[in-house]
């Protein structure tokens, strides 16, 4: 597949890295010569310097025979115009744009992005995606990650193993014997920042971050089995009233009416705007690093702190300060990848990465064949893929132990007629099954080929 990526920032770089690794023909366009030089030096991609919305620049990048354009520059308007030019002048089939300004995203203007106006096939809003991601994590207080799959029949849950975790040093093959009525499969382990694809003989150690595929009905019991029985938060404080904080606050008011919610925002006009948009929540104007403001927010009695200001250092320091004052779980927004390995030792419970969330959102629309969704796990570890089986696929009608799946691919669940099945070696995938699997980064392309639709199917 031939792809043009407009924008060589963190998101553009990571998308290019994923797609180039899978042997796609990738071209990156950015107005910064420094960024295009960096990306061409480190990745197997072509890079051009210029404005991504200019027709001559897109022509140089090969837009006339491109399958997909992904516009993720820092400017919404450049992304929008790049999609329009790609459609009108070059007939690019699929156009994806990142748009941050909420005024462009209101429902009443949705017709703007139809093929007759500004033809954008997929719009990604990082702020809304991050707010949605945090809202999902609020449902499982002991989890550091939570993704819904197969119409919410199945969930990917990330759990950190503490020293009192009941299943430490237990071979994974014994989990079925210990919990025969739980539909869970361990698909990944991160130990000392090193990702591991586990075998049946592997076991968990204190500090491990474990990724599980779980029947949605069994999430609470699974969390308890791993030593996490935290109750859902009744008191939440959000640090930052920007687009992410305001969107999250609105979701909490709608979906968690019993939650006592406070928002702290430093900018006075913005704080007043957020206060007018919320119905029951309290908005405090002041710095999230001001102990008096935190005391006014009753931070010592708060069960969950969500730090989503536009500054990484402020988010980290405010989270640590709040926890030192007696606050509960800290969910912290961090943009810089270099900070990620430091957070567990600092005491931050959950890290939210806008770049990873945005890349995952875009990859869902890049994957081909019968793949319904794809979600990146960590940075470069792999993907959780949800795909539909059809009759002509090599996986169908054969016991899993006899299939041609690569060794670094693990089937985590099968959803058949609404029922969740735990895959075993003798399990046979049937046509129309929804298959949830984990694929290491170097196996994603092979999984995509397996779930491609064969011509004889039609």
Q: What is the pLDDT of residues 93-110, one digit of tens each?
A: 999 999 988 888 877 877
- DSSP code for 454: P
* Contact assessment for residue 43 and residue 67, using Cβ atoms and an 8 Å cutoff: no
- The domain tally of the chain equals 3
Distance between CA atoms of residues 69 and 81, nearest Å: 12
Query: What share of the chain in percent tops pLDDT 70?
Result: 98
SS3 252: helix
Residues shown for the chain: 458
Specify the pLDDT at position 118. 82
- Other C-beta atoms lying within 10 Å of the C-beta of residue 402: 10
Residue 399 sits in a domain of what CATH number?
A: 3.30.70.1450
d(CA 244, CA 131): 5
Among 102, 63, 99, residue whose Cα is nearest residue 79:
99
Residue 201 confidence (pLDDT): 92
C-alpha pair distances (Å), 378 with each of 128, 153, 440, 444: 20, 23, 11, 15
Last residue of a domain, one of 307, 331, 355: 331
Domain that holds residue 381: 363-457
pLDDT tens for each residue of 143-200: 888 888 898 899 999 999 989 999 999 999 898 888 888 888 999 999 988 889 998 8
Residue 72: which CATH number?
3.40.50.720
Closest CA to 377 of 158, 208, 226, 228: 158
Tell me, what's the pLDDT at 67?
A: 92
- Indicate if the pLDDT at residue 368 is higher than 70: no
Band the pLDDT of 453: cuts 50, 70, 90.
low
DSSP state of 396: B
381, 282: one domain: no
* Residue 351 to residue 354: CA distance in whole angstroms: 10
Tokens representing residue 79 in the block: 């992304």
Under 8 Å between Cβ of 263 and 282: yes
Pairing of strands 194-196, 184-191: antiparallel
pLDDT value, residue 84: 94
Residue 67 falls inside a structural domain = yes
Among residues 332, 325, 248, the alpha carbon closest in space to that of 294 is found at 325
- The answer to whether residues 387 and 323 belong to one domain is no
């Amino acid at each position: 597949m031939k792809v043009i990526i407009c924008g060589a920032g963190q998101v553009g770089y990571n998308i290019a890295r994923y797609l180039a690794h899978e042997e796609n023909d990738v071209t990156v366009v950015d107005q910064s010569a420094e960024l295009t030089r960096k990306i061409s030096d480190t990745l197997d991609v072509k890079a051009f310097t210029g404005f991504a919305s200019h027709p001559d620049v897109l022509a140089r990048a090969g837009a006339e025979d491109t399958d997909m354009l992904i516009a993720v520059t820092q400017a919404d308007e450049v992304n929008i115009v790049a999609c329009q030019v790609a459609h009108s002048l070059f007939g690019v089939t699929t156009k994806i744009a990142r748009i941050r300004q909420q005024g462009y995203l209101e429902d009443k203007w949705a017709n703007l992005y139809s093929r007759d106006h500004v033809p954008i096939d997929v719009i990604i809003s990082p702020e809304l995606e991050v707010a949605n991601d945090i809202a999902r994590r609020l449902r499982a207080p002991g989890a550091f990650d939570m993704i819904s799959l197969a119409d919410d029949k199945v969930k990917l849950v990330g759990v950190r193993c503490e020293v009192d975790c009941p299943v430490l040093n237990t071979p994974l093959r014994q989990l079925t014997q210990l919990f025969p009525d739980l539909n869970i499969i361990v698909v990944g382990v991160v130990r000392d920042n090193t990702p591991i694809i586990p075998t049946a003989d592997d076991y968990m150690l204190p500090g491990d971050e474990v990724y599980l595929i779980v029947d949605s009905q069994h999430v609470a019991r699974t969390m308890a089995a791993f030593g996490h029985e935290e109750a859902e938060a009744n008191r939440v404080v959000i640090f930052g009233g920007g687009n992410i904080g305001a969107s999250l606050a609105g979701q909490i008011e709608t979906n968690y009416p019993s939650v006592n919610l406070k928002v702290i925002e430093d900018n006075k006009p913005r704080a007043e705007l957020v206060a007018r948009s919320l119905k029951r929540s309290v908005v405090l104007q002041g710095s999230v690093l001001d102990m008096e403001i935190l005391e006014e927010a009753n931070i010592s009695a708060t069960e969950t702190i969500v730090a989503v200001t536009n500054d990484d250092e402020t988010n980290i320091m405010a989270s640590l300060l709040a926890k030192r004052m007696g606050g509960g779980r800290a969910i912290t927004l961090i943009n810089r990848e270099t900070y990620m390995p430091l957070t567990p030792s600092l005491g931050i419970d959950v890290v939210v990465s806008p770049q990873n969330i945005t890349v995952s959102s875009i990859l869902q629309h890049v994957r081909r064949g019968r793949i319904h969704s794809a979600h990146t796990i960590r940075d470069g570890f792999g993907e959780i893929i949800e795909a539909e089986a059809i009759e002509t696929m090599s996986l169908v009608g054969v016991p899993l132990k006899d299939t041609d799946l690569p060794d670094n691919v693990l089937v985590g669940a099968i959803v058949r007629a609404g029922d969740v099945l735990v895959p075993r070696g003798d399990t046979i995938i049937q046509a129309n099954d929804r298959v949830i699997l984990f694929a290491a980064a170097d196996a994603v392309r092979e999984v995509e080929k397996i779930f491609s639709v064969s011509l004889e199917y039609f």
